Structure 1
């Protein structure tokens, strides 16, 4: 990913919109993910900004986080050796209310990613019926291969450094990549020890800020609901459609569940090493088996030992598989230009963004030129914010 895209596309923008991107690039030239998210948002709002020049100042203020916290996280492994990871929390905007946003534990986590996630979360939360600001954060700590005790010690150390900035009227962190129920439990337990009484939990917008009963499922289910609404507007339905899904975490698994409920045929999942395709499509029993594989920290390739009509491809992505609808649910920029071409050639007509900013700009251009309909994560992925509305569905 290089920065030439941003300069060459400024000619397509009005001067005021271009100046916003230019200012962000000048201030944070090395934060590629954040600059990319800024460029996409400003480009989408170009005509609005051109007609209302006072929005330039608003955008400039919106693009600068209210608070950026970078801190060390010392932790001790099971051998007694001390390690130091780096932690982040970016409280992007609290204009509507207390911040809410994910905590990501991943070795590639950095300040640029925290800012991009916080910016996207701010806009996503603004679309919800709740008065919430946006935030994001995490650490370059890698939870893979770590014992429960190591993860507990890390989470406690992480919270020791950040708890002063959290709370029901300040910032409510939630699950993200590498952070699940176990990690949130360790984090919240340490928060209560340090900060004293706090009624509820971190996870969701409800009375006393306790977690919604569908918080975990909400984002994945919401993506499929969104796809069904798109298809209904086209007088079509999901039933019988082949769906390519990337990722194999919480969001991807719940996408599979809801696709099956609608009669669709989900055929792929992926991890950091490659992707798995099942030509017969996944069913509920197969999803349970996939979850067991992930819980035991085994490779997805073990699935093929049980189901003969499946295959695992090393160092590859699922976008060349024949599909009608794609659900990228792994990470940012997971679809590059060649992947987009593969999607077009595979017959994909709709792409529903599960991860934040899954396509690089050049990939978006390819998809749009081929008339592939893109459902943006900012709207399609808002189910995690609006989880209360999903109760009873």
Structure 2
């Protein structure tokens, strides 16, 4: 475990005390505080007025009941969350996650990470996150609709285009956003296109939003490789997950000349040494909402499926963890290093454990942390907000060009900040400090609130 500056130890201790039983949130806060000792030494004013303590405390935490009827007419009850973490730079912005694992700790860690991620984009958006412990898998469209309507019946009073603008996340795609937007419109009698992002193109969505997180992660890693005079061309890559983030990470890597040899879902992973057939993955996961195990059966010779197991046992040049938090452990990192990995880019939020991050850094592996690497999704959501505000709709090309510019800028900001603070190539430290300074400066300008 990395050391924390002695001036920051009381802050971490108080976070642990006040947020008992929230390990994911503790992990996220610790990871940022480990980077701030050098900042406090250089800019001692950031230790004044309980600034760091305020950054670690959400501005608002909302927990609510979600009753809904299943197709058998039985009443089900879930729990919903919205954590509005920090609005110093703009309205709260962050996704909604529907997954059985969702609890307050996970939503708070995501909201905390989102605050710095959004700051790195350079766009006027604050940090927030939400969700529910509802599993849409195996549910009919009618059940998902009724759940989303009940969820929004409470959430609508807490959001707005100038207050809090949710988007999608794990378990929340275009279908769910559509149902929630419809209910918001019904409750408010107002077509407020800017209140949700990730919408369908017919009612205010943005081109390239679906692809943005995966594309953005790939742009960031391409920039990291570029610092070594290298690129994705000719590289073998492993991408965990097979949802939107993973699929469009794979798509962009292929466009850069890389070969995807493995991807996964929660049940296992598939290996295809000839290169993953992305069209087949899209058919299975996006069109049929099936399991990745179907891939090997349909693809045939040259591919095989491993139930359970660790996808990180597959040797590769580039690893892109794009599924969920803490999916890549210290053991996995050591296996990847032994097998010759040269770069890792986090497509998911905090998918690598602290032990894994340290292993990569000590081995000299290029490592892009999620708050920087996967910022393309929220950046394009902010571009969707811009289009909604101006009643405009941009072309795919224009939107992707803006996304590419933003991701290259985030990379360069993180690299320059790491250089400034004496650790060239440390993108974790660079991302943490650059995001923190932007939020801290805005909070200092606005007084103690």
TM-score by length of 2: 0.81
The CA distance in 1 between the partners of 2:171 and 2:316, in whole Å, is: 28
Deviation at 1:349, TM superposition (A): 1.2
Aligned to 1:332: 325
For 1:256, what is the secondary structure of its paired residue?
Answer: helix
For residues 88 and 392 of structure 1, do their structure 2 counterparts lie closer, same or farther at Cα, with a shift above 3 Å needed? Answer: closer
For 2:304, what is the secondary structure of its paired residue?
Answer: strand
Could you give the per-residue CA deviations for residues 320-378 of structure 1, whole angstroms, max 9, x where no partner exists? 11101110000010111111111111211110011111111111122222111211111
Aligned to 2:27: 36
The CA distance in 2 between the partners of 1:366 and 1:219, in whole Å, is: 25
Could you give the per-residue CA deviations for residues 89-120 of structure 1, whole angstroms, max 9, x where no partner exists? 00001111111100000000000010011111
Deviation at 1:82, TM superposition (A): 0.6
2:262 corresponds to which of 260, 263, 268: 268
For 1:339, what is the secondary structure of its paired residue?
Answer: helix
Deviation at 1:392, TM superposition (A): 4.9
Could you give the per-residue CA deviations for residues 23-76 of structure 1, whole angstroms, max 9, x where no partner exists? 111111211000100000111122112333332321110110010001110111
Whether 1:279 and 2:279 are equivalent positions in the alignment is no
Whether 1:300 and 2:292 are equivalent positions in the alignment is yes
Deviation at 1:196, TM superposition (A): 2.1
Aligned to 1:45: 36
Name which of structure 1's ranges 354-363 and 378-387 shifts more when overlaid on structure 2. 378-387
Q: Say if 2:92 and 2:163, in contact at 8 Å, map to a contact too.
A: yes
Whether 1:221 and 2:215 are equivalent positions in the alignment is yes
Q: Say if 2:5 and 2:34, in contact at 8 Å, map to a contact too.
A: no
Whether 1:68 and 2:61 are equivalent positions in the alignment is yes
The CA distance in 2 between the partners of 1:40 and 1:390, in whole Å, is: 35
The CA distance in 2 between the partners of 1:78 and 1:193, in whole Å, is: 23
The CA distance in 2 between the partners of 1:329 and 1:46, in whole Å, is: 30
Aligned to 1:346: 339
Whether 1:376 and 2:340 are equivalent positions in the alignment is no
Aligned to 1:104: 97
Q: Say if 2:159 and 2:165, in contact at 8 Å, map to a contact too.
A: yes
| Structure 1: runs of 5 or more not aligned | none
The CA distance in 1 between the partners of 2:181 and 2:198, in whole Å, is: 13
The CA distance in 2 between the partners of 1:346 and 1:301, in whole Å, is: 25
Whether 1:25 and 2:16 are equivalent positions in the alignment is yes
Aligned to 1:239: 233
Which residues in structure 2 correspond to 1:19-168 (within 5 Å)?
A: 19-56=10-47, 57-168=50-161
RMSD of aligned Cα (Å) = 1.7
Q: Say if 2:208 and 2:400, in contact at 8 Å, map to a contact too.
A: no
For 2:8, what is the secondary structure of its paired residue?
Answer: helix
Name which of structure 1's ranges 100-109 and 46-55 shifts more when overlaid on structure 2. 46-55
The CA distance in 2 between the partners of 1:79 and 1:339, in whole Å, is: 43
2:224 corresponds to which of 224, 230, 239: 230
Q: Say if 2:198 and 2:210, in contact at 8 Å, map to a contact too.
A: no
Aligned to 1:170: 163
Could you give the per-residue CA deviations for residues 106-162 of structure 1, whole angstroms, max 9, x where no partner exists? 000000010011111111111123211111010000000000000000000000111
Compare relative contact order (CA 8 Å, sep 6+) and give the higher one, 1 or 2.
2
| Structure 2: runs of 5 or more not aligned | 384-396, 402-449
TM-score by length of 1: 0.93
Q: Say if 1:90 and 1:137, in contact at 8 Å, map to a contact too.
A: yes
Aligned length: 378
For 1:312, what is the secondary structure of its paired residue?
Answer: strand
The CA distance in 2 between the partners of 1:187 and 1:174, in whole Å, is: 10
